[in-house]
A and B are shown apart, each in its own frame.
Chain A
Amino acid sequence: MPQSPSALHLAVALDGAGWHPAAWREPDARPKELFTARYWADVVTEAEKGLLDFATIEDSLGLQSSRYAEPDGRTDQVRGRLDAVLVAARVAPLTRHIGLVPTAVVTHTEPFHLSKAIATLDHVSAGRAGIQVKVSGAAEEAAHFGRRTMPSLRWEELASPAGRALLQELFEEARDYVEVLRRLWDSWEDDAEIRDVTTGRFIDRGKLHYIDFEGDRFSVKGPSITPRPPQGQPIVAALAHRSEPYRLVAESADLGFITPRDTDHAAAILTEIRGKQAAGGRAAETVHIFGDLVVFLDDEPGAAAHRRARLDERAGAEYTSDAHVFTGSPAELADLLQDWQRAGLTGFRLRPATLPHDLEQVTRRLVPELQRRGAFRTAYQADTLRGLLGLYRPENRYTAA
Chain B
Amino acid sequence: MSKPVKQIHLAAHFPGVNNTTVWSDPAAGSQIDFSSFAHLARTAEQAKFDFLFLAEGLRLREQNGEIYDLDVVGRPDTFTVLSALAAVTDKLGLAGTINSTFNEPYEVARQFASLDHLSAGRAAWNVVTSWDEFTGQNFRRGGFLAQEDRYERARQFLAATWELFDSWRGDEIVADKESGVFLGDPAAGRFDHHVSQFDISGHFNVPRSPQGRPVIFQAGDSDAGREFAASSADAIFTRHGTLEDGQAFYADVKRRLARYGRSPDELKILPGVTFVLGDTDAEAREKAHVIRHQQVSGQTALKFLEQLWNRDLSSYDPDGPLPDVDPLVGENTIARGRASVRMHRDPLATAEQWRATAEAKNLSIRELIIEMTGRQSFIGTPVKVAEALNESVQSDASDGFILAPHLTPGGLDEFADAVVPLLQERGVFRSQYEGDTLRDHLGLDQAGASGTASGAAL
Q: Could you tell me which A residues sit within 8 Å of B by CB distance? A: 22, 24-26, 29, 31-32, 35-37, 40-41, 60-64, 71, 73-83, 85-87, 89-94, 108-110, 112-113, 116-117, 119-121, 123-124, 126, 140-141, 143-147, 188, 193, 195, 197, 200-205, 208, 217-223, 225-227, 314
Contact = CB atoms under 8 A, between A and B. Distances in A.
Contact of A80 (B88, B189, B201): B189
B177 A25 contact: yes
Contact of B83 (A90, A226, A314): A90
A110 B57 CA distance: 15
Contacts of B103: 110, 113
A120 B67 contact: no
Contacts of B58: 112, 225
A146 B193 CA distance: 10
B56 to A, nearest CB: 8
Interface stretch (B109-117, B250-258, B324-332): B109-117
B60 A80 contact: no
A80 B173 contact: yes
Nearest to B197: A146
A4 to B, nearest CB: 34
B233 interface: no
A143 B202 contact: yes
A31 B114 contact: no
28 contacts: A25-B180, A31-B175, A35-B117, A35-B207, A41-B87, A61-B106, A63-B189, A76-B180, A81-B205, A82-B117, A85-B79, A87-B114, A90-B86, A110-B140, A116-B80, A117-B79, A121-B80, A124-B84, A143-B201, A145-B106, A145-B107, A146-B199, A146-B201, A188-B74, A195-B23, A205-B69, A208-B67, A223-B60
Contacts of B107: 61, 108-109, 145
A76 B60 contact: no
Interface in B143-178: 168, 173, 175, 177
A98 to B, nearest CB: 15
Of B79, B184, B188, the most chain A CB neighbours within 10 A belong to B79
Given A89-B84, A90-B83, A219 B203 contact: no
Contacts of A89: 79-81, 83-84
A110 B206 contact: no
Contacts of B173: 31-32, 35, 80
A180 to B, nearest CB: 10
A272 to B, nearest CB: 32
B139 A110 contact: yes
A205 B64 CA distance: 13
B452 interface: no
Contacts of A62: 202-203, 205
A124 B80 contact: yes
A90 B74 CA distance: 22
A147 B84 contact: no
B316 interface: no
A85 B200 CA distance: 24
A201 B84 contact: no
A62 B300 CA distance: 48
B10 to A, nearest CB: 24
B242 interface: no
B426 interface: no
Given A110-B102, A200-B297, A218-B139, A90 B188 contact: no
Given A31-B182, A62-B205, A80-B189, A225 B83 contact: no
Contacts of B117: 35-37, 82
A366 to B, nearest CB: 27
Nearest to B102: A110
Contacts, number: 228
B70 A200 contact: yes
Given A80-B206, A219-B142, A202 B118 contact: no
A67 to B, nearest CB: 13
A381 B30 CA distance: 27
A75 B179 CA distance: 11
A146 B200 contact: yes
B34 interface: yes
Contacts of A29: 177
Interface size range of chain B in the complex:
35 or more
The 9 closest A-B pairs by CB, nearest first: A31-B175, A221-B137, A83-B114, A89-B83, A120-B80, A124-B84, A75-B183, A120-B77, A120-B76
Nearest to A37: B118
A71 B203 contact: yes
B245 interface: no
B104 A147 contact: yes
A68 to B, nearest CB: 16
Contacts of A314: 180
Contact of A94 (B80, B87, B142): B87
Interface string B38-68: 1000000000000000000111100000110
B181 interface: yes
A314 B198 CA distance: 41
Nearest to B81: A120
Contacts of B77: 113, 116-117, 119-120, 226
B24 interface: yes
Contacts of B142: 219
Given A92-B87, A218-B139, A79 B76 contact: no
Contact of A225 (B75, B182, B202, B209): B75
Nearest to B86: A90
Contacts of B34: 93, 123-124, 126
Contact of A218 (B75, B86, B140, B189): B140
Of B69, B79, B186, B297, the most chain A CB neighbours within 10 A belong to B69
A144 B160 CA distance: 11
Contacts of B83: 86-87, 89-90
Nearest to A94: B87
A206 B199 CA distance: 43
A217 B140 CA distance: 7
A197 to B, nearest CB: 5
A203 B200 contact: no
B183 A79 contact: yes
Contacts of B290: none
B387 interface: no
B184 A203 contact: no
Contacts of A112: 58, 138-139
B118 A87 contact: yes
A223 B69 CA distance: 14
Contacts of A222: 138
Given A87-B118, A200-B70, A204-B69, 13 more contacts: A37-B119, A62-B202, A62-B203, A63-B189, A79-B182, A90-B118, A91-B87, A112-B139, A113-B77, A124-B84, A202-B71, A203-B73, A225-B58
